[in-house]
Structure 1
Amino acid sequence: MSAELSIHQLQIADTEFIVCDVETTGLSPDRNRLTEIALLRMRGNQVVERFDSLVNPRQFIPPEVQRLTGISNEMVYTAPDVEEVMPKVKDFIGEAVFVGHNVRFDRSFVDATLARCCMKALQGPSLCTARLARRLIPNKGKKNLGAIARHFNIRIRGRHRATGDAEATARILTHFLTILEEEFDIHEAGELLSFQNRQIYRITGAPKYFTRLQSNLSELPHAAGVYFFHDKRGDILYIGKARDLKERVSSYFYHNIGHTEKIRRLVRGVHGITWKTTETELSALLTESRLIKQHQPSYNTQLKRYRKYPFIRIDMQDDWPTIGWCYDLVDDGAEYFGPFRSRFAVEEALDGINKLFMLRECEGTLHPDPKNTPCLYHDIKRCGAPCAALTSGEEYRREVDDIVLFLQGEQDSVLDRLRLRMEKRAEQLYFEGAAVLRDRIEAVEKIIRQQQLMVHSVRRQNLVIITLARRSNVEVHLIKAGMLAAQFLVDQKGFSRDQLFRSLEDVFSSRQAELFTGRQEDIDEMRIIASWCLNRRADSRILDVLDDVTIEELTGVVSDAILHQDEELHTGQAMNEQ
């Protein structure tokens, strides 16, 4: 990804958040001082780094504050001064999104303390979880940290201490980000930052036909499915999906805090509601996508947005392929691997690959010539210098093949090939080259232990997804080349193994990579399936259909997964189970 984006343009998953909580001697940032600060760095809904410190406020902590926080004058007497703490704080925060529950309080104390240390105020934007709570939790109850933590069944360890409150705020933020993505289709940081400032709005003076809508709403089931909003002529205004139809559709009309003007216009135009239940939420997602393409409702065009996921891209059309990452899938002959959860994850994977494999990191067309001088990457053993003809085309392609195997989880094959090459170099008395390969083998083994990296080529993603449905059923989705090829319900108490065999044979008798069209509707479906595999793994069994597995063997594994689907769901390595 070459161009740097501003924070407002980033996907939420690619945005860095710093969750902050401060404890102080009082409520005024001008008159009172910090006694404790905690900072949590969040990337992709995970806390990746922490900082916390008591602070010597150089003023007396009132008894009532000591009782509330548990921080005494004795505790802060030997604590570091602000001149020691604040440079670390400023460095830790950088220009990330600053998050707090009632963020104005925390940020005002941080900025005031920075000013007293002759340091500039924070530059990044702020995000307030209290403001989000007032727009996302549809009740009139309190929105303080304790109340919101109880709402999400979050236990605060160390209430009114900076670390305990910051940890709770981070977990609350994770819940809110999930709601915003699933219920509001908010995927970009700019949309998130704007959402916290939306006008709090409720319907008043309901239209005359609302009585009829109330009848529709009362009939909605608590089930997954797809819903349709109709105008007065019966035409479809909007198609949406829900894991719970009753809760989701009712939210438009009863607790519609935080709605945009476009959604408010949509609600005012609704004269009828219909719906279609599905056995699973995954079916609802795929059905919604296909119905939107079929009917093309006007409000779906205006309102529907999709989260972008990054992919590793290898330019296979080039004689000397390079590796990078991108958000968009294009039918350009390149091989795409992924998706990854965030740019942080894909950049970490690429960094590891560039250290392990000897691909060039320069851009543009390569013209090998022994007269060329190799660059620094060759000197540090990160490139074989094909530019200077020090690596042949055959050797370079072998390196590309190793990367593909490595990405697809076949690390043992990569290790075997590296060991064989190391032994050959040793036999040829090329000990320096053998030592380089030995170091690379050790690095590969370390990454395997630490990361268990395995992704898919988009065009080669053949999967069986098994999801628990209603009653004693499970729903089976057969994914061919990243797209839905077939789906069917199976009764766990009695199903035909022969019929399952035929269904699997119809789809997977050939596992050749299909031509990727690059059509937006195909990409949308791939995105939905990829998103499910990434984010809802705990709700499904996901089996990777390997090239060397027979249909009979696959039928056995799928049969076993169907029979045990209602037991604890897990991900493992059965049949290369994801």
Structure 2
Amino acid sequence: MKSLENLLNLLSNRNLSYYDFVARAKNSIISDKFDIKDVSMWQMQGLSIERFADKIELKTRTNSINEQEFCIVDIETSGGMSSGQIIEIGAVKIKNAVEISHFQSLVHATNIPESISELTGIYDSDLVDAPPLAKVLENFRVYLGDAVFVAHNVNFDYNFISHSLESMGFGMLLNRKICTIELARRTIKSERYGLESLKNLLGINSTHHRALSDARAACEVFKTSLMCLPNSVKHTEELIKFSKSAPKHYKDKTPSLEI
């Protein structure tokens, strides 16, 4: 995974020759079924790359933020990655800060812990006729495409979905990703950065701990953060780097947002 991270960091800064890309990718994907020489396989797993002549380009490096599709995702689960499973996925896809589509599905499961049902309002009876996890994941992967994966505490949602996809034989996620907590810390002045705190600060009204509702709330946080970016951040990879390394509280004043 470290070699994959290094490869993506290189691509986020410059194009690579196809042969250099393949050489560096040799230890990046741990799967006998994955052909690192086949650019389409990288694309199928969400990495937005393109081969032209003998060069490999990461499209998020040249895409402007307004041109980029972002998919804001939230999941509900019956437990941790080792003991639970996804029971609901919700997602909102936006371009130029405008919603272009959404995705929502419950997932068949049994024996939902009482604490999870109390938190989410999702009970065993709600999931009896829900589609199986493999079908929902397959549909979600198609929906996600090569959009940038955005979530509040992104590593949880991204890694849980990626691990679930791998366990079903679909391969890991390779989409570029952004954490709205990290981005908000650099663009919105707040005492706390949990989703509920930011909803209260920004006047976002939604049901908490349901996947699509929380995805839409995180989407509003994301759009607010985009309004606060410095003029120098124009392309998607610049946004990703800004979310990870810019000084915190870039703006002292949060712009008003009408919901």
TM-score (structure 1 length as normaliser): 0.33
- Once residues 175 and 114 of structure 1 are traced to their aligned partners in structure 2, the CA distance between those partners, rounded to angstroms, is 31
RMSD: 2.1
Q: In structure 2, what is the equivalent of residue 187 of structure 1?
A: 234
The answer as to 2:199 corresponding to 1:152 is no
Contact 1:94 1:122 in 2 (8 A): no
Contact 1:30 1:112 in 2 (8 A): no
CA 1:127–1:201 in 2, change beyond 3 Å: closer, same or farther? closer
Q: Which of 88, 92, 106 is the matching residue for 1:36?
A: 88
* Pairs within 5 Å for 1:12-411: 12-26=65-79, 28-57=80-109, 59-139=110-190, 141-156=191-206, 158-180=207-229, 183-198=230-245, 200=247
Could you report, residue by residue, the CA deviation over 1:152-190 in whole angstroms, capped at 9, with x for unpaired residues?
A: 11111x21100110111111111111111xx45321111
CA 1:148–1:167 in 2, change beyond 3 Å: closer, same or farther? same
Bigger relative CO (Cα 8 Å, ≥ 6 apart): 2
- Once residues 44 and 188 of structure 1 are traced to their aligned partners in structure 2, the CA distance between those partners, rounded to angstroms, is 12
- The alpha carbon displacement at 1:199 in A equals 5.7
Q: Secondary structure at the match of 1:196?
A: helix
- Once residues 90 and 166 of structure 1 are traced to their aligned partners in structure 2, the CA distance between those partners, rounded to angstroms, is 16
- The alpha carbon displacement at 1:36 in A equals 0.3
CA 1:136–1:201 in 2, change beyond 3 Å: closer, same or farther? closer
- Once residues 92 and 64 of structure 2 are traced to their aligned partners in structure 1, the CA distance between those partners, rounded to angstroms, is 20
- Once residues 158 and 58 of structure 2 are traced to their aligned partners in structure 1, the CA distance between those partners, rounded to angstroms, is 24
Q: Secondary structure at the match of 2:221?
A: helix
- Once residues 51 and 16 of structure 1 are traced to their aligned partners in structure 2, the CA distance between those partners, rounded to angstroms, is 14
Contact 1:25 1:34 in 2 (8 A): yes
Which ranges in structure 1 are unaligned for 5 or more consecutive residues? 203-247, 256-578
Amino acid at match of 1:160: H
- The alpha carbon displacement at 1:93 in A equals 0.8
- Once residues 246 and 232 of structure 2 are traced to their aligned partners in structure 1, the CA distance between those partners, rounded to angstroms, is 18
Could you report, residue by residue, the CA deviation over 1:354-385 in whole angstroms, capped at 9, with x for unpaired residues?
A: xxxxxxxxxxxxxxxxxxxxxxxxxxxxxxxx
- The alpha carbon displacement at 1:50 in A equals 1.1
Q: Secondary structure at the match of 1:11?
A: coil
CA 1:117–1:24 in 2, change beyond 3 Å: closer, same or farther? same
- Once residues 84 and 247 of structure 2 are traced to their aligned partners in structure 1, the CA distance between those partners, rounded to angstroms, is 33
- Once residues 80 and 71 of structure 1 are traced to their aligned partners in structure 2, the CA distance between those partners, rounded to angstroms, is 15
- Once residues 248 and 87 of structure 2 are traced to their aligned partners in structure 1, the CA distance between those partners, rounded to angstroms, is 38
Contact 1:11 1:188 in 2 (8 A): yes
- Structure 1 runs (4+) deviating above 3 angstroms are 199-202
- The alpha carbon displacement at 1:87 in A equals 0.9
CA 1:201–1:88 in 2, change beyond 3 Å: closer, same or farther? closer
Could you report, residue by residue, the CA deviation over 1:206-233 in whole angstroms, capped at 9, with x for unpaired residues?
A: xxxxxxxxxxxxxxxxxxxxxxxxxxxx
Contact 2:72 2:150 in 1 (8 A): yes
Number of equivalent positions = 198
Q: Secondary structure at the match of 1:83?
A: helix
- Once residues 12 and 114 of structure 1 are traced to their aligned partners in structure 2, the CA distance between those partners, rounded to angstroms, is 28
* Pairs within 5 Å for 1:384-463: none
Q: Secondary structure at the match of 1:47?
A: strand
Contact 2:66 2:97 in 1 (8 A): yes
- Once residues 63 and 167 of structure 1 are traced to their aligned partners in structure 2, the CA distance between those partners, rounded to angstroms, is 26
- The alpha carbon displacement at 1:113 in A equals 1.3
Q: Secondary structure at the match of 1:13?
A: coil
Percent identical pairs in the alignment equals 29
Contact 1:17 1:41 in 2 (8 A): yes
Q: Secondary structure at the match of 1:118?
A: coil
- Once residues 245 and 145 of structure 2 are traced to their aligned partners in structure 1, the CA distance between those partners, rounded to angstroms, is 27
Amino acid at match of 2:203: N
- The alpha carbon displacement at 1:30 in A equals 2.3
- Once residues 201 and 150 of structure 1 are traced to their aligned partners in structure 2, the CA distance between those partners, rounded to angstroms, is 20
- Once residues 113 and 191 of structure 1 are traced to their aligned partners in structure 2, the CA distance between those partners, rounded to angstroms, is 29
- Once residues 5 and 132 of structure 1 are traced to their aligned partners in structure 2, the CA distance between those partners, rounded to angstroms, is 21
- The alpha carbon displacement at 1:201 in A equals 6.0
Contact 1:133 1:143 in 2 (8 A): yes
- Once residues 104 and 83 of structure 1 are traced to their aligned partners in structure 2, the CA distance between those partners, rounded to angstroms, is 21
Could you report, residue by residue, the CA deviation over 1:24-77 in whole angstroms, capped at 9, with x for unpaired residues?
A: 012x212210110012111111111111100013x4211111011000011012
Amino acid at match of 2:100: V
TM-score (structure 2 length as normaliser): 0.71
- Once residues 111 and 33 of structure 1 are traced to their aligned partners in structure 2, the CA distance between those partners, rounded to angstroms, is 12
Q: In structure 2, what is the equivalent of residue 272 of structure 1?
A: none
Amino acid at match of 1:67: E
- Once residues 225 and 217 of structure 2 are traced to their aligned partners in structure 1, the CA distance between those partners, rounded to angstroms, is 12
